[in-house]
Amino acid sequence: MRVIVVGGGVSGLTVAWALSREPGFDVTVFEASGRTGGKVHTERVEGYLCEWGVNGFLDKEPKTLEVSEALSISPVRSFDASRKRYICSGGRLHRLPESPGAFLRSGLMGITGKARLAMEPFIAKGDLEDESLADFGRRRLGREAFEKLIDPMASGIYAGDPEKLSLKSCFKRIDELEQTYGSLIKAMAALMKERKKSVSAAPKGTLTSFRGGMSEITDALYNALDGHVRLSKDVSSVERTPSGYGLCLADGSVAEADAVVLAAPAYRAAEMLSELDPEGAKAFGSIPYPPLSVVALGFRADDIGMDVDAFGFLVPFREGRKILGMLYDSSVFPNRAPEGSVLLRAMVGGARAPEVAELEEDALVETVLAELRSITGLKAEPEFAKSFLHKKAIPQYNVGHSGVIEALEAAESRHKGLYVTGNAFRGVSLNDCVASGLALAGRMRDELLDGK
Instruction: Please state which CATH number belongs to domain 99-195.
Output: 1.10.3110.10
Average pLDDT over residues 44-57: 96
- Minimal CA–CA distance to 236: which of 223, 254, 261? 254
- pLDDT digit string (tens) for 375-397? 999 989 999 999 999 999 999 99
Is 429 within 8 Å of 54 (Cβ atoms)? yes
Domain with CATH 1.10.3110.10 in the chain: 99-195
User: For the chain, what is the mean pLDDT?
Assistant: 94
Superfamily of domain 2-36+216-287+397-450: FAD/NAD(P)-binding domain (3.50.50.60)
Q: Which helix (H) or strand (E) holds 168?
A: helix 167-170
Q: Give the integer Cα–Cα distance in Å for 83 and 96.
A: 10
Helix (H, G, I), strand (E, B) or coil at 274: coil
Task: Answer left, alpha or beta for residue 334, where phi above 0 means left and psi between -120 and 50 means alpha.
Answer: beta
Q: Which helix (H) or strand (E) holds 300?
A: strand 292-300
Specify the range with the lowest mean pLDDT, choosing from 88-102, 138-152, 194-208, 284-298: 194-208
Q: Give the integer Cα–Cα distance in Å for 144 and 76.
A: 37
- pLDDT digit string (tens) for 40-49? 999 999 999 9
Sheet holding 2-6, edge to edge: 229-231, 26-31, 2-6, 259-262, 418-420
Which pLDDT does position 201 carry in this prediction? 46
The CATH topology of domain 56-96+202-213+290-393 is Polyamine Oxidase; Chain A, domain 2 (3.90.660)
Q: Give the integer Cα–Cα distance in Å for 101 and 103.
A: 5
Residue 365 has pLDDT above 90, yes or no: yes
Which pLDDT does position 450 carry in this prediction? 65
274: CB partners within 8 A, 6+ apart: 237, 281
Sheet holding 384-390, edge to edge: 92-95, 85-89, 312-314, 325-327, 341-349, 292-300, 384-390
In degrees, to the nearest 5, what angle opens at C-alpha 69 toward C-alphas 331 and 23?
Answer: 145
Residue 204 has pLDDT above 90, yes or no: no
Q: Give the integer Cα–Cα distance in Å for 347 and 368.
A: 9
Q: Give me the residues paired with residue 419 across strands.
A: 261
Domain with CATH 3.90.660.20 in the chain: 56-96+202-213+290-393
Q: Give the integer Cα–Cα distance in Å for 9 and 423.
A: 10
Domain with CATH 3.50.50.60 in the chain: 2-36+216-287+397-450
114: exposed, middle or buried (Cβ count in 10 Å: 0-12, 13-18, 19+): middle
Which pLDDT does position 192 carry in this prediction? 79
Specify the range with the lowest mean pLDDT, choosing from 13-27, 100-114, 285-299: 100-114
Average pLDDT over residues 356-368: 97
Residue 193 has pLDDT above 90, yes or no: no
